[in-house]
Chains A and B, each alone.
Chain A
Amino acid sequence: MKTRRDFLKTSGLLIASVGALSLSNDEIYTLAAQASGPYVDPDYLQLDSWIVIRPDNTATFFVGKTDLGQGTGTAFRQIMSDELDIAFDKTTCVMGSTNVTVDQGGSGGSDALQTDGYPMRRVAAEARRVLLDMAAVHFGVPVTSLTVSDGIVTVRGATPPRTVTYGELIGGKKFSVTLTGRNVDATTGVAKLKPVQEMKHVGKSPQRDDIPRKVDGSGKWAVDAKVPGMVHARNVKPPVAGATLVSVDESSVRSLPGFVRVVRKGNYLAVVCEREEQAIKAATQLKAEWRKPTSAPFPAASEFFGYLRTTQPAMSQPPAVTGDVEAAFASAAKVVEADYDIPFQGHTSIGPAHAMADPSNNQLTIYSNDMKSYGLRNGVARFLNIPREQVRVVWMDGPQAYGRTAADDAGFEAAFLAHEIGKPVRVQWSRAEETAWDTKGPAYAIKMRGAFDAAGNLIALDYDARAADHNHLGYNEFDTVLIAQLTGQRKQEPASGRASYPTDSYHVDNRRSTGSVVPLPLAWETPLRMGNLRDPDGPQVTFAVESFIDELAAAAKADPVEFRLKLLQARTSDDSGFKRARSIACVKAAAEKFGWDRRPSPKGGGTGNVVAGRGIAYAYRSQTVVAEIAEVEVNRTTGRIWVKRLVCAHDCGLVVNPVALTRTIENGILHGVSRSIFEEVAFDNEKVTAVDWITSPTLTHADIPERIDVVLVNGDPNPNRPDLPHYGAGETMLKPTMAAIANAVFDATGVRLRRVPFRAPRVLAALKA
């Protein structure tokens, strides 16, 4: 039986031959072929599962998260190098492969540093403590007389100098130290964490270690995984949602060169060929007869928001209420109302779904970019009804995830096909398949109401959301992924879904949030299936709330920044994370960086063809706060909006790598720009009609702002506390962008855009209305 220990021995051999610093995910891929099962879970209660130190004083950290291109692997090296007291450039980080790294859930919810950063710091601190104890024995002095820097332990004040390296103390040997903790997040030794003030790698910006291989072409990605005897599969999707596969004419492809097999189970249909281009051709040519469903699976996009507003919800959530909203509205001197529509938006990943599965040696190895590789492993074992010790996922680089691979269809399909035909199978979806059938961010229709008293004070704020988020998919569940639906192995009852509520810190005496979930007629085997798209509901909710706050400011003839600050400062109480204080700090920082001119919107007076304006919006997610200001130009003849400048004030607590964080924020707010101006899932009443980059437009380089300013704020009123937390930073920046742009368009034109996306024809129609 080969265990993790054997694996490390194997990797030790490799390290000896090609250099100590090269143990990376690429090597894990190379080594994967050598490690046969069963695949035992690395034990989170063993220090050796997390850190290996070699004789040359280098270290590798084993982290059960996945870096999707935000630099979390580099950040883990920074925080762990600091706690271990080893030179940053003598470390590597291996992530996400299920038999190599402890199950920390992979990635999701931007929790890598926020949640998992702490156990990783604690195990590194514990390794440092154990090594100092070893050094004390080595020198025969008390631990208190030792100092350590860059992995070199020194006896304080000794002449001649007495030093020993970590590598000399433990290199090639095991720690054999047992940790404690009721679950993986609670993993700890007995060592204490360093105060932030003593960290020297945290707060610097070493270059991300994943970037060179992405730039020189040397990286091995999940799309590149290949093993001898591998064949290629392509799916044939139902032509319309809910179609039943009546018959397949295999003779239509049997004579094609390289043909291997047609695989059919229920409504799942795939064709397998020896070469990739052969499989693509065969999938196009395969004749199959499908029966359309007897009733429409969903209304067409043009009818959709009417449907969402008038259809009986499947579920109504308990309201969140403070004060007496109805009484406040009854007594109001002025009431403002508005409706906001946010359509379905897709992931439309640049790289369609893919995976390769190898069934050799009666095991199943899946080479995958799944952000939740551990969930894929567990889900596949259950789906195929095989012991999970036979299954492992080798995690590799992959295209833009942002939630798409949380329901990893291709991973399950490759595993199913490999299991079915007994050969290694690589599968990749077509562009049309990915764009039409990927998981979607749910559509929302939101009604906002606000009430002012006679003195012009905002006395009530009412939020009511209808979310098309029925049957929101879970994480790699064996009974909800698409192949489980198509093969008839799905669960009976759809998930109830959810309608999210605002999470801002505005104080209004009477405030209510209500929400309900409206189902589409067809819950299963449909391309309109809801999943996690980068803060799954945040942009929708924030578009409505932050647009409406702006409408209220305009109704009160108040400056939009001052109006927000007044609502944020209406109370002094705060939560333990200083959410209110940090919200105020971000709004002020954004306004200052932008050079905000205090005045009510709209600006007025613009008479030219192109008019300019600015708008602010603010949002909050899981302790991370952002405020964004957009400066836009609106072409009144064409309806084109150009976001000329963006300012983002961002507070995610302790910043580990400012350069990597800044890039992540820039990219995220541009994703927000793309979703604001371009992105919407097109569909008729039987299928998604968005199938490529023409029918599913996206932001391109042509339309990027000429300037983006990211201000890293730390609005913590107690910045000296030793435990200054590091929060997540992968999603919050996306939330306010839609509203910031809509508010800027209002400032420029006096016209309010309440329907996303702000494509030119829609803007033009609004300008002319």
Chain B
Amino acid sequence: MASFTLLVNGKRQTVDVDPSTPLLYVLRNDLDLSGPRFGCGLGQCGACTVLIKGEAVRSCVRTVQQAQNVEITTLEGLAKDGTLHPVQQAWIDEQVPACGYCQNGQILTAKALLDKNPHPTDAQIRDAMKGVLCRCMTYYGINAAVKRAAKVTA
């Protein structure tokens, strides 16, 4: 066990865990953040996505040691002053989620895309979002919500 300081959603927090612990379990079990979820533990599905320095990152294959003192944002940290992020609002406006288990990864990946490329083409959306799996197959709604958010944030 060792002590690690993490900067999550603007808050500095210290945890005492094994250095090899995946960031996912620290966020979920030590910091009580339930946005990121376990889907595969292999970095294949995206359910565990968090933003690290603005990049969509798979927290199941990143250790707590690798995540020290960098800015980490989880789904819980997207809203500002009680107002949902435009991507989240687009997700509600388009009534995207079915079961919702994967939507953390969908929303954060879409946000990372739009931050870099505010006007993505359909092909760019497909390419950016293809690694985040949804077994309810809400992709058509996700595609519409990304386009809606792009209009709002433009």
Q: Enumerate chain A interface residues (CB-CB to B < 8 A).
A: 68-70, 207-208, 210-212, 214-221, 223-224, 226, 257, 275-278, 280, 347-352, 397-401, 428, 430-431, 659-660, 663-664, 666-668, 670-671, 673-674, 692-694, 698-702, 704-706, 708
Q: Which of A211, A223, A224, A705 has the most CB of B within 10 A?
A: A211
Q: Nearest chain A CB to B26's CB is how many angstroms away?
A: 9
Q: Which residues of B contact A348 (CB under 8 A)?
A: 135
Inside 8 A of A430's CB, which chain B residues have their CB?
41
If A277-B25, A659-B95 touch, whether A217 touches B137 (CB-CB below 8 Å) is: no
User: Pick the contact of A212 from B39, B92, B125 — CB < 8 Å?
Assistant: B92
Nearest CB on B from A259, distance (A): 13
Q: Determine the distance from Cα of A705 to Cα of B126 in the docked complex, in whole angstroms.
A: 11
**Are B135's CB and A399's CB within 8 A?**
yes
Interface size on B, residues (CB 8 A): 60
Question: Could you tell me if B103 and A699 are in contact, using CB atoms closer than 8 angstroms?
Answer: no
Most interface-central of A208, A219, A350, A706 (chain B CB within 10 A): A350
A428, A668, A692: the one contacting B38 at CB < 8 Å is: A428
Q: Which residues of B contact A352 (CB under 8 A)?
A: 38-39
**Chain B residue at minimal CB-CB distance from A705:** B140
A667 and B25: CB pair below 8 A?
no
**CB-CB under 8 A for A400 and B99, given A223-B38, A704-B140:** yes
Tell whether, in the assembled complex, residue A663 and residue B138 are in contact, meaning their CB atoms are under 8 Å apart: yes
Flag if A664 contacts B137 (CB, 8 Å): no
Instruction: Give the distance in Å from the alpha carbon of A216 to the alpha carbon of B39 in the complex.
Output: 19
Provide the residues of chain B in CB contact with A277, threshold 8 Å: 17-18, 20-22, 25
Taking the closest CB of chain A, its distance from the CB of B105, in whole angstroms, is: 9
Quick one: closest B residue to A667, CB to CB?
A: B137
Residues in chain A near residue B74, CB distance under 8 A: 217
Q: Mask for B1-29, Cβ within 8 A of A = 1, else 0?
A: 10000000000000001101110010011
User: Which of B45, B78, B135 is close to A400, meaning CB atoms less than 8 Å apart?
Assistant: B135
Chain A interface helix/strand/loop/mixed: loop
12 residue pairs from A and B, CB less than 8 Å apart:
A210-B100, A214-B100, A215-B91, A217-B34, A280-B41, A350-B39, A350-B134, A352-B39, A398-B101, A400-B135, A667-B98, A692-B42
Any chain A CB within 8 A of the CB of B122?
Answer: yes
A33: shortest Cβ distance to chain B, in Å?
Answer: 16
In Å, the complex CA distance between A70 and B134 comes to 15
Nearest chain-A residue to B41 (Cβ)? A431
Given A216-B75, A701-B132, decide whether A693 and B97 contact each other with a Cβ distance below 8 A.
no
Distance from B76 Cβ to chain A, minimum over Cβ atoms (Å): 4
Given contacts A667-B138, A699-B137, 9 further A-B contacts (CB under 8 A): A68-B98, A214-B103, A350-B136, A399-B135, A400-B136, A670-B137, A673-B137, A693-B40, A701-B129
The residue of chain B having its C-beta at the shortest distance from the C-beta of A707 within the complex is B140
A700 partner residues in chain B, CB cutoff 8 A: 130-131, 133, 139
Q: Is B118's beta carbon under 8 Å from chain A? A: no
Cα–Cα distance between A208 and B34 once the two chains are bound (Å): 21
Chain A contacts for B122, CB-based, 8 A: 706
Name the contact of B1 in the complex, choosing from A208, A257, A660 (C-beta under 8 A): A257
Which B residues are in CB contact (< 8 Å) with A350? 39, 45, 47, 99, 101-102, 133-136
Is B34's CB under 8 angstroms from A220's CB? Answer: yes
Say whether, besides A350-B102, A398-B99, A431-B41, A217 and B35 are in contact (CB < 8 Å): yes
Chain A: minimal CB distance from B40 (Å): 4
Contact A704 B143, beta carbon cutoff 8 Å: yes
Residue B58 is within 8 A (CB to CB) of chain A in the complex: no
A431 and B140 in contact, given A400-B135, A700-B130 (Cβ under 8 angstroms): no
Is the Cβ of A223 less than 8 Å from the Cβ of B34? yes
B18 touches A698 (CB 8 A): no
